[in-house]
Amino acid sequence: MSQRKTPIYITEPHLPPLEDFIPYLEAIWQTRRLTNSGPFHDQLEGALADYLGVEHLSLFANGTLALVTALQALRITGEVITTPYTFAATTHSLLWNNIKPVFVDIDPATCNLDPERIEEAITPTTSAILPVHCYGFPSDVERIEAIADTYGLKVIYDAAHAFGVRRDGTSILQHGDLSILSFHATKVFNTFEGGAIICPNEKIKRRIDHLKNFGFADEVTVVAPGINGKMNEVSAAMGLLQLEHIDVALEARAKIHRRFAEALAPVPTLTLLPPPPGTRWNHAYCPMLVSDDHPISRDALYDRLKAANILVRRYFYPLISAFPMYRGLPSAAPARLPNAARIARQVLCLPIHPGLGPDDVAAVLDTLLEVR
């Protein structure tokens, strides 16, 4: 096994031609409008709402600020039921709002919150459910929202991975009280850094827009203790340009995933996780499970790929519930989270992004299939 000179990353930013970005920059220089809801910011909000099939959308400087603000906007307090199998920002946003996370186990087929476990975790101080559409796989929105309706709970979806995802022809972002997107550079759609909150109506959008701008309703009126969460004009311009190329980028991801799936199908100990039926998936990630009876362990395979300069990731390992600030919670006990623990122990996310060429895909597969 020889090491490649050029690393293969799990994902890379999709960058359109530089010459296509220059006119946007020139327009920003001419208007001298760099931030504070400039013309590109407002254009992007409208264009994204149209593309994603949602009514209202509020842009943010990043997805974490969007999460923190969403919890503020709905005045969430007490306890929130969430998943241990996610990126740190999901749960950190609760702690930043002085909210106690309550972890429940995941469905191993989707890696999303298991609705069977949610109801038993509800207490008198539970105010909301914070599920994640992990890898862009839709959560069981109907069952989650039925539970929320029964107990009078809010539902905020962390949809950081779910840009453009539809189920049965409908945007997954239309579910819940709010949904949060991330436009980080490594996401399917990026604005360098960025994010958004999907809002169900104009009233909640106005509140969110106040909160992301220090609470200002106008030049002299402050209506809430807000923060600075605004997206700048350069990021918004990048988003407008990205949107022109997004469908080509999504098809490139799908093609790479099909190649991995075909090559790994004969290997029963390496399993690519499929999206739920009826899903128009965005191929945000390419999660693969390394079973316990594979000839080498998941971590040994990770090391082998890394030695070949193929930089896969163990998304998500370790579990959030194992972090020092959370592991003392009763709901973080490993015995309560067996499915999440197993998936975290077995998962490897393979490289997938539009810049990944056929030779790169072949190099990943050659390294994976050296041990069978």
317, 169: one domain = no
Q: What is the pLDDT along the chain (372 residues), one digit of tens a residue?
A: 556 678 999 999 888 899 999 999 999 999 999 999 999 999 999 999 999 999 999 999 999 999 999 999 999 999 999 999 999 999 999 999 999 999 999 999 999 999 999 999 999 999 999 999 999 999 999 999 999 999 999 999 999 999 999 999 999 999 999 999 999 999 999 999 999 999 999 999 999 999 999 999 999 999 999 999 999 999 999 999 999 999 999 999 999 999 999 999 999 999 999 999 999 999 999 999 999 999 999 999 999 999 999 999 999 999 999 999 999 999 999 999 999 999 999 999 999 999 999 999 999 999 999 987
Which of 241, 259, 276 is the C-terminal boundary of a domain? 241
* Structural domain contains residue 81: yes
Q: How far is CA 285 from CA 14, 80, 180, 188, 351, in A?
A: 14, 26, 18, 9, 8
232, 256: one domain = no
Distance of alpha carbon 229 from alpha carbon 233, whole angstroms: 13
DSSP calls for 151-216? HT-EEEEE-TT-TT-EETTEEGGGSSSEEEEE--TTSSS--SS-EEEEESSHHHHHHHHHHTBTTB
DSSP calls for 55-71? SEEEEES-HHHHHHHHH
* Structural domain contains residue 129: yes
304, 254: one domain = yes
* Structural domain contains residue 3: no
Give the total number of structural domains in the chain. 2
What CATH number does residue 56 fall under?
3.40.640.10
DSSP H helices in the chain: 18-31, 39-52, 63-73, 88-96, 115-118, 141-151, 202-211, 233-264, 298-307, 338-346, 358-369
24, 143: one domain = yes
* Structural domain contains residue 11: no
What global pTM score does this model have? 0.97
The answer to whether residues 212 and 253 touch, using CB atoms and an 8 Å cutoff, is no
Element (H, E) at 82: strand 79-82
45, 122: one domain = yes
Distance of alpha carbon 103 from alpha carbon 334, whole angstroms: 10
* Structural domain contains residue 7: no
Element (H, E) at 348: strand 347-349
204, 295: one domain = no
Domain range for 74: 18-104+113-241
Which of 201, 221, 241 is the C-terminal boundary of a domain? 241
Which of 183, 207, 241 is the C-terminal boundary of a domain? 241
137, 46: one domain = yes
Please enumerate, as own/partner, the contacts of 266-270 that have beta carbons within 8 Å and a separation of 24 or more. Answer: 267/368, 267/369, 267/372, 269/293, 269/294, 269/295, 270/294, 270/368
Distance of alpha carbon 70 from alpha carbon 99, whole angstroms: 13
Element (H, E) at 112: strand 112-113
**Which residues, listed in sequence order, are joined to residue 80 by a DSSP beta bridge?**
101, 128
* Structural domain contains residue 351: yes
236, 256: one domain = no
Distance of alpha carbon 8 from alpha carbon 362, whole angstroms: 11
233, 250: one domain = no
What CATH number does residue 296 fall under?
3.90.1150.10
- Strands across the sheet containing 178-182: 56-60, 195-199, 178-182, 154-158, 126-130, 79-82, 100-103
* Structural domain contains residue 296: yes
334, 269: one domain = yes
Tell me which DSSP letter residue 17 carries: -
281, 144: one domain = no
* Structural domain contains residue 288: yes
260, 176: one domain = no
